[in-house]
Amino acid sequence: MKNIKMDTFKLDNPAWYSLNEAHEEFAVNYDGLKFYQPAYCPFGGVFTDKSVALNIADYASFTDYFFLIGDEPKIDQNVKIDGELVCNQMILEKPIDLESNTSKIPYLDVASDNANAIRLYQKLGFVSRRKLSFWKMSRVLR
């Protein structure tokens, strides 16, 4: 079984790592920024300190709204932030062993103010790992 601490770093930026690995074929790629193709889902992740405002604006031209997971992004005048959803990222403390001799860490994100859901997930063995921000954005219509 793998050490859970070694595997969880990818959960700090789940969309980014999914789009670089298992979901690579569904990615819209920018330098340091990746989104799912809008036909699949409206989520993306950033993995750079450089400004990605122009790339965010470009992606916004393909969809009505979308979410960027992580720190509050810098945007330009073509995009607006509609809100922040703060979520508890919860994981099972013990990875699940799969037939392929690998281990996976089940995780989920739940709105931090959804106490009933959090209690239910805790009863199922999930523990809070960290908070993540989901920034809802949309293009500015002119």
- Give tens-digit pLDDT for 15-45: 999 999 999 999 999 988 999 999 999 999 9
Which residue has tokens 């859970």?
Answer: 4
Q: How many residues does the chain have?
A: 142
Q: From 135, 137, 134, 139, select the one nearest 62 (Cα to Cα).
A: 139
* pLDDT, position 118: 98
User: Which residue, among 69, 21, 13, has the nearest Cα to 41 in the 3D structure?
Assistant: 69
Contact 64, 138 (CB under 8 A): yes
Q: Which regions in the chain score pLDDT beneath 50?
A: 1-3, 6
Q: How many CA atoms lie within 13 A of 121 on its CB side?
A: 22
- For 119-129, what is each residue's pLDDT tens digit? 999 999 999 99
d(CA 124, CA 108): 12
Report the DSSP pairing between strands 43-46 and 65-69: parallel
